């Protein structure tokens, strides 16, 4: 986009909407899997195991998550593409080895039952799914790397096609295995998820071929400042460390919930709420890439900020509408088939978390602006501060015997607000010394 042209809401929405739809489709995975889990045997044990499984899988995956931002920002020419590809393959290999080492060795029991305090029955159920998900991180990493290239070159609709194929695969496979096999629900959900991610990664790989050939396979001259491995690592590692720390939220909260009264019920109910809450948060997750790509001037920055806050307000407002009218209970009971006791816990966790999408949106905007200026270290500092607040909130909740929903919602919201405050201070200081992108 030409920086001299005004950035309108319509332009932002046209770029943003395919990415948001893609995230919403991914967000449907949680309710679909929760629906299968709650309709088969041992629903409370397996529903409690599901957030444990996802917390561990996503945390191990965390070094590859920010390949999306790294690729969007740095994939400028053939030289950077070739260096990035080499870096990505090494990274995918190591996260796959780490996943296998955690779930296939005694380290699993030490972490899940020892550190997190999860009951053995819940830990065993989660482990069976985690073994199936060993290829998960590599597939996610390759997909996000190629998605960054597509975003960089304005091909956001291709991302939506890949995600549509992913959700369709998960839905068909989950329903088929549910009806025609006698597999445990965690195994069904895990097979459906790993298969759907494989389909999406394959689709994105195929859809990105044209962009790669057009922009990176010719003999175009490299940029004036070629990308080096040192620069690449210096850019990506703070982002990756930020995400790794940030994704400790799920394990830390799960560890806290494992120590409240009726821990299995608390884990199951907050897991159901989290699956639906993810749909509200999902519409904010693509905002950093939107800001990175479209931010060219101070006027565009103002337009992007207003758009981001609007997305967050709308999403938080919908939570309040559904929660205060009690319609969320209908979703939990009839869509996910949560038992009445689980649905009640989920209702309060969902309602108390109403501010989360708005805070997410505000954070996303500032993270995007900081990343556009290559100021990635400040993001790590912010999330470290948030983790101190989160750990303090969880410990306080356990000591004061808070209910599961209160512990989860208060500690997470408090941590997000602390992170937002640090990000805002970092950007306020940086604004005086940076110049808008040319």
Token pair 């996802």 in the structure block, residue: 54
Q: Is the pLDDT of residue 234 over 90?
A: no
Side-chain half-sphere exposure of 122, counting CA atoms within 13 A: 28
The whole-number average pLDDT for the span 263-291 is 90
What is d(CA 158, CA 156) in angstroms, rounded to the nearest whole number?
A: 5
Mean pLDDT of the chain: 88
Q: How confident is the model at residue 438 (pLDDT cuts 50, 70, 90)?
A: very low
| CA distances, 144 to each of 61, 155, 234 (Å) | 11, 14, 19
Pairwise CA distance, residues 192 & 195, whole Å: 5
pLDDT of residue 296: 80
Question: Is the model's pLDDT at 130 over the cut of 80?
Answer: yes
Domain boundaries, the chain: 9-431
Structure tokens at 400: 């004061």
Rounded to an integer, the average pLDDT of 98-118 is 90
Q: What's the sign of the alpha-carbon dihedral 334, 335, 339, 344?
A: negative
- Comparing 248 with 88, the larger pLDDT belongs to 88
pLDDT digits (tens, 9 = 90+) for 375-432: 777 778 888 889 899 999 999 999 999 999 999 999 999 999 999 999 999 888 877 6
The residue among 363, 93, 136 whose CA lies nearest residue 242 is: 363
Confidence of residue 65 (pLDDT cuts 50, 70, 90): confident
Query: pTM to 2 decimals?
Result: 0.76
pLDDT tens for each residue of 133-175: 999 999 999 999 999 888 888 787 788 888 889 989 999 999 9
Tokens, residue 54:
């996802």
| Cα separation, 60 vs 70, whole angstroms | 18
DSSP readout, 180-247?
H----HHHHHHHHHHHHHHHHHHHHHHHTHHHHHHHHSS-PPPPSS---HHHHHHHHHHHHHHHHHHT
**CA 421 to CA 423: how far, in whole Å?**
5
pLDDT tens, residue by residue, 316-351: 999 999 999 999 998 898 878 888 899 999 999 999
Residue showing tokens 């905007």: 365
In the numeric block, which tokens belong to residue 304?
């992007």
Q: What pLDDT sits at residue 215? A: 77
Residue 82: name the closest of 257, 220, 246, 238 by CA: 220
pLDDT of residue 220: 57
Distant-in-sequence, close-in-space partners of 94: CB < 8 Å, separation ≥ 6:
63
Residue 19's pLDDT is: 85
Q: What are the distances in angstroms from CA 355 to CA 16, 160, 195, 394, 412?
A: 22, 27, 34, 18, 10
As given in the structure block, the two tokens for residue 21 are 């739809």
Amino acid 4: pLDDT: 54
Q: What per-residue confidence (pLDDT) applies to 194?
A: 95
Residue 362 has phi, psi (to 5 degrees) of -65, -40
Distance of CA 241 to the CA centre of its chain: 15
420 Cβ partners below 8 Å, 6+ apart?
A: 359, 362, 363, 366, 382
- Tell me the pLDDT tens digit for each residue of 278-313: 899 999 988 988 998 888 878 888 899 999 999 999
Which of 424, 426, 399 lies closest to 411, judged by CA? 399
Asked if residue 243 has pLDDT above 90, the reply is: no
Q: What does the pLDDT average to over 214-228?
A: 68
**What average pLDDT does range 196-202 have in this prediction?**
94
Is 80 exceeded by the pLDDT of residue 242?
no
% residues pLDDT > 70 (the chain): 95
Which 3 state secondary structure label does DSSP give 90?
A: helix
Are 324 and 351 spatial neighbours (Cβ–Cβ below 8 Å)? Answer: yes
User: pLDDT at position 160, please?
Assistant: 80
237: its two tokens: 């590692």
> Could you tell me the CA-to-CA distances from 87 to 63, 138, 230, 232, 233 in Å, in that order?
12, 13, 11, 9, 9
């Amino acid at each position: 986009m030409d920086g001299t042209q005004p950035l309108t809401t319509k332009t932002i929405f046209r770029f943003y909407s395919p990415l948001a739809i893609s995230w919403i489709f991914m967000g449907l995975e949680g309710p679909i899997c929760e629906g299968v889990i709650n309709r088969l045997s041992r629903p409370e044990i397996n529903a409690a195991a599901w957030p444990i499984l996802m917390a561990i899988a996503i945390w191990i995956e965390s070094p590859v998550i920010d390949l999306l931002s790294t690729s969007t920002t740095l994939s400028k020419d053939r030289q950077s593409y070739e260096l990035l590809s080499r870096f990505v393959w090494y990274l995918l290999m190591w996260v796959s080895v780490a996943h296998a080492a955690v779930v296939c060795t005694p380290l699993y029991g030490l972490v899940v039952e020892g550190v997190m305090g999860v009951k053995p029955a819940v830990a065993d159920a989660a482990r069976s799914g985690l073994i199936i998900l060993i290829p998960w991180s590599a597939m996610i990493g390759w997909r996000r790397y190629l998605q960054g290239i597509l975003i960089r070159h304005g091909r956001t609709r291709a991302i939506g096609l890949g995600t549509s194929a992913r959700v369709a695969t998960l839905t068909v496979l989950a329903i088929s295995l549910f009806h025609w096999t006698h597999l445990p629900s965690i195994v069904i959900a895990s097979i459906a998820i790993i298969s759907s991610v494989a389909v999406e990664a394959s689709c994105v790989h195929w859809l990105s071929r044209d962009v790669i050939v057009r922009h990176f396979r010719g003999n175009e001259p490299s940029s004036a400042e070629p990308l080096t491995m040192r620069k690449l690592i210096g850019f990506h590692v703070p982002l990756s460390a930020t995400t790794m720390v940030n994704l400790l939220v799920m394990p830390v909260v799960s560890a806290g919930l494992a120590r409240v009264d009726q821990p299995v019920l608390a884990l199951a109910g907050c897991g159901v709420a989290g699956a639906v809450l993810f749909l509200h948060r999902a519409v904010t997750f693509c905002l950093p890439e939107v800001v990175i790509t479209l931010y060219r001037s101070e006027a565009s920055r103002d337009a992007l900020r207003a758009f981001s806050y609007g997305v967050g307000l709308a999403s938080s407002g919908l939570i309040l509408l559904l929660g205060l009218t009690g319609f969320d209970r209908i979703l939990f009971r009839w869509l996910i088939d949560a038992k009445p006791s689980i649905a009640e816990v989920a209702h309060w966790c969902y309602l108390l978390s109403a501010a989360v999408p708005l805070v997410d949106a505000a954070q996303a905007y500032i993270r995007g602006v900081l990343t556009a200026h290559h100021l990635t270290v400040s993001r790590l500092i912010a999330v470290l501060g948030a983790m101190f607040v989160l750990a303090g909130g969880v410990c306080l909740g356990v000591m004061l015997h808070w209910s599961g929903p209160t512990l989860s919602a208060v500690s997470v919201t408090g941590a997000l607000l602390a992170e937002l405050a640090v990000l805002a201070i970092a950007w306020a200081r940086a604004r005086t010394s940076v110049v808008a992108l040319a």
